[in-house]
């Protein structure tokens, strides 16, 4: 039986034009999360989790080829052209964007990086050296 990460890899590899973009985003999300793991969601998507904190979720809507990416970050932090190049809209559980072109990779990666910065901003280390959530 395949792991959720293997299922996500297969889903990306089944894409025609976006397979390499999807694989790069998945690998980047797992790498920046340090100990990230992939979990399958109830809705059929895939969530990259750091500890118990899900910060990036991928799904594959019906219709024209696209990767739907939910990212737990503050969209007001988008700088420059990223917001126009890869628009983000409010959604549940996190803001969402639809990746439809390979040249949206850089913006999508910056959104993942912003989610990791948000996660790190909610953490602190207590006097015993354990990492704890602030809120």
Structural domain contains residue 52: yes
- Asked whether residue 31 is domain-assigned, the answer is yes
Number of independent structural domains in the chain: 1
Centre a 10 Å sphere on the Cβ of residue 10 and count the other Cβ atoms it contains.
10
The verdict on residue 103 lying in a domain is yes
Residue 131 falls inside a structural domain:
no
Q: Tokens 């395949």 sit at which residue?
A: 2
Instruction: Please provide residue 67's backbone torsions phi and psi, each rounded to the nearest 5 degrees.
Output: -115, 120
Average pLDDT, the chain: 85
- CA-to-CA dists, residue 133 to 60, 67, 111, 112, 124, angstroms: 31, 30, 21, 19, 7
What domain range includes position 81?
A: 4-120
Asked if residue 106 is part of any domain, the answer here is: yes
Does 133 fall in a domain? no
Residue 127: inside a domain, yes or no? no
The per-residue pLDDT for 52 is 65
* pLDDT tens figures, 43-101: 889 998 876 677 899 999 999 999 999 998 888 877 777 888 899 998 877 899 999 99
Residue 124, token pair as written in the block? 């602190």
Residue with tokens 């602030």: 134
């Amino acid at each position: 039986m395949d792991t959720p990460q293997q299922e996500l890899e297969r889903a990306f590899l089944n894409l025609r034009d976006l397979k390499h973009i999807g694989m790069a985003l998945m690998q980047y999300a797992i790498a920046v999360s340090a100990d990230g793991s992939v979990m399958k969601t109830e809705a059929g998507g895939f969530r990259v989790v750091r500890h118990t904190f899900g910060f990036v979720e991928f799904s594959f809507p019906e219709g024209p080829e696209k990767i739907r990416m939910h990212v737990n970050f503050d969209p007001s932090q988008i700088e420059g052209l990223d917001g126009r190049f890869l628009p983000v809209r409010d959604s549940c559980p996190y803001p969402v964007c639809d990746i439809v072109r390979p040249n949206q990779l850089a913006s999508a990666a910056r959104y993942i990086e912003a989610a990791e910065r948000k996660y790190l901003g909610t953490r602190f280390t207590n006097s015993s050296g354990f990492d704890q959530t602030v809120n």
